[in-house]
Structure 1
Amino acid sequence: MSTIKQVQITFDCAEPERVARFWCEVLGYVVPPPPKGFATWDDFDRTLSPDHQGSAACIDPSGAGPRLFFQRVPEGKVVKNRLHLDVRVGTGLVGEERLAALEAECTRLVALGAVRVQLLAADDDYESCLVMQDVEGNEFCLD
């Protein structure tokens, strides 16, 4: 039996702080306090080797959701994500009510820097969802 109780989702990115701020706003997450013994994250960051500097994180203030970690990498995003987040805003809603909830959240996220990619309309198997990209082009869905 597994003893794993938590997961962290890690994003490779060019601007970790920018991407972290975006996802904090999307999910209602917060930046965790800096490690013990450091007044700020910048103070902690300066103690790291240059190739490990510039990371950022955000956490669910309720403790229920996974921690998100953002690490700087030199290469840019080239292909479609193999993994993406589904941001659940329309759970339990169907038809026009669901579309209205998705569109309202889409409008909020576009104002934060997200890009609307495509509405996937409901079919016989699935309800509608909106494919979007975050501020560095990582795909996610409003579901």
Structure 2
Amino acid sequence: MKTNWTLTIDCADPAVVARFWCTALGYTEADPPSGWDTWEDWLTALNVPEDEWNDGASISDPDGILPSISFLKVPEPRTVKNRLHLDLQAAGGRAEPQHLREERIRAKAETLLTAGATLIREVPMENSTTLDHLWLQDPEGNDFCVV
């Protein structure tokens, strides 16, 4: 039997990280629970103190196809390289001409750098100087690649 799932990213500021990933993935803020016009209305009805409203965030694929992603506030900072990361597939695949692949990778990365990402390293193809992908981090240092 299939198990439904979402991806959860631990972070210090869920709202900031969620906004970044909306830009990166073309996602939108998740809708509030059914019957509520806004998240604020829902949180108020549940008597959640306002200083806890940024303890979590959720984003979703506007087409409803891809998994949702949640962001959970945690007290500890990230201390080691992620063992799991997202690859944003911007290039169109290895069948595309290399100059076009690189142009697409760099264009996507530029958008993300403007949104708060940090470039860690340009990664060449094995035994080559030709760009394979870019290794970046989101505003809180979570690793991802643009390929």
Q: Which residues of 2 match residues 114-125 of structure 1 at below 5 A? A: 114-123=117-126
* Aligned Cα root-mean-square deviation (Å): 2.4
Tell me the distance in 1 between the aligned counterparts of 2:47 and 2:84.
29
Counterpart of 1:135 (choices 136, 139, 146) is 139
Are residues 96 and 75 of structure 1, via their aligned partners in 2, closer, same or farther at CA, if it must alter by over 3 Å?
same
Counterpart residue identity of residue 40, structure 1 = T
Q: Deviations over 1:78-125 (max 9, x none)?
A: 11001000111012234222111111111111000001111111126x
Q: Which residues of 2 match residues 28-67 of structure 1 at below 5 A? A: 28-46=26-44, 47=46, 53=53, 54-67=55-68
Q: How many residues align?
A: 141
Tell me the distance in 2 between the aligned counterparts of 1:45 and 1:84.
31
- Number of the residue aligned with 2:19: 21
Are residues 96 and 48 of structure 1, via their aligned partners in 2, closer, same or farther at CA, if it must alter by over 3 Å?
farther
Counterpart residue identity of residue 27, structure 2 = Y
Q: Secondary structure at the match of 2:28?
A: coil
Are residues 43 and 102 of structure 1, via their aligned partners in 2, closer, same or farther at CA, if it must alter by over 3 Å?
same
* TM-score normalised by the chain length of structure 2: 0.85
Unaligned 5+ segments in structure 2 are none
* Worse overlay, 127-136 or 30-39: 30-39
Unaligned 5+ segments in structure 1 are none
- Number of the residue aligned with 1:101: 104
Q: Which residues of 2 match residues 67-86 of structure 1 at below 5 A? A: 67-86=68-87
* TM-score normalised by the chain length of structure 1: 0.87
